[in-house]
């Protein structure tokens, strides 16, 4: 299961279709609060997190998740159109990052890499 936290509905659809086409199951969140509720109940195999979700800070959320024992080992891929994404990803402890716009095949291979599916 892959959790997608992204506030732009079209990009959210893009992630969903792209990953489902590859045989992954996905759950999407356009609101970081809904995501917070869900992550307490279910743990995904991987998370794709936008840096800004309706004004909320996905990078801080990533840091937070990486500091919690029960979520620390779940790979998080940060996505954003910000040029400083690499730095943000490093600081937040994200496992990887994908700059928008991206090549769909690059995203798939990054997801596969972190799920150790080659």
Partner 1 sequence: MNTKLMLINKNTLESLEEKDVLKIVEKFTQTGIDVLSADFGFMFWKRENQDTYQLVYTSPKTPYTPSLPRKRGYNYKASLGRIPYFISNPKRDLLPYMKSLVIIPIFYKSHQYGNIVLCFNKKRVFVSEEEPLIMTLSNSAAQVLTIHKNNKKTERDSVKLLKQKEEFFNIVSHELKTPVTTIKGFSQLLGNKIQKTDTQTRFFLDKIDTQTDKLVRLINSLLEVSRLENGKLEFKKCNFELSALVKRVVEDLNIAIASHTISYSNTSKFWISGDDDRMEDVVTNLITNAAKYSPSGSKIKVSVREKSGLAHVEIEDFGFGILEKDHQKVFGRFFRSKISNKENLPGLGLGLYISNAIIKYHSGTLDFKTKKVGMGSIFYFSLPYSGHKINT
Residues of the shown chain interacting with partner 1 in the complex, contacts defined by CB under 8 A: 8, 10-11, 14, 17-18, 21, 81-83, 100-105
- To partner 1, the closest distance from the beta carbon of 68 in angstroms equals 29
Q: Which is nearer to partner 1, 6 or 95 (CB)?
A: 6
The answer to whether 39 and 65 are in contact (CB under 8 A) is: yes
Distance CA 34, CA 5 (A): 10
Q: Which is nearer to partner 1, 11 or 71 (CB)?
A: 11
Q: Which is nearer to partner 1, 67 or 84 (CB)?
A: 84
- To partner 1, the closest distance from the beta carbon of 56 in angstroms equals 15
Q: Which is nearer to partner 1, 18 or 113 (CB)?
A: 18
Closest CA to 79 of 92, 56, 96: 96
- To partner 1, the closest distance from the beta carbon of 1 in angstroms equals 21
Can you tell me whether residue 111 is helix, strand or coil?
A: helix
42 token code pair: 């279910």
Closest CA to 75 of 60, 93, 102: 93
- To partner 1, the closest distance from the beta carbon of 63 in angstroms equals 21
R_g of the chain, CA atoms, integer Å: 13
């Amino acid at each position: 299961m892959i959790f997608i936290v992204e506030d732009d509905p079209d990009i959210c659809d893009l992630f969903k279709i792209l990953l489902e086409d590859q045989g992954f199951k996905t759950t999407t969140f356009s609101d970081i609060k809904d995501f917070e509720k869900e992550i307490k109940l279910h743990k995904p195999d991987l998370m794709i997190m936008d840096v800004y979700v309706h004004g909320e800070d996905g990078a801080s959320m990533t840091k937070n998740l990486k500091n919690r024992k029960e979520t620390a080992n779940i790979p998080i891929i940060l996505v954003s159109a910000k040029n400083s994404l690499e730095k943000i990803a490093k600081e937040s402890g994200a496992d990887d990052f994908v700059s928008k716009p991206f090549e769909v095949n690059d995203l798939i291979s990054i997801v596969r890499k972190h799920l150790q599916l080659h």
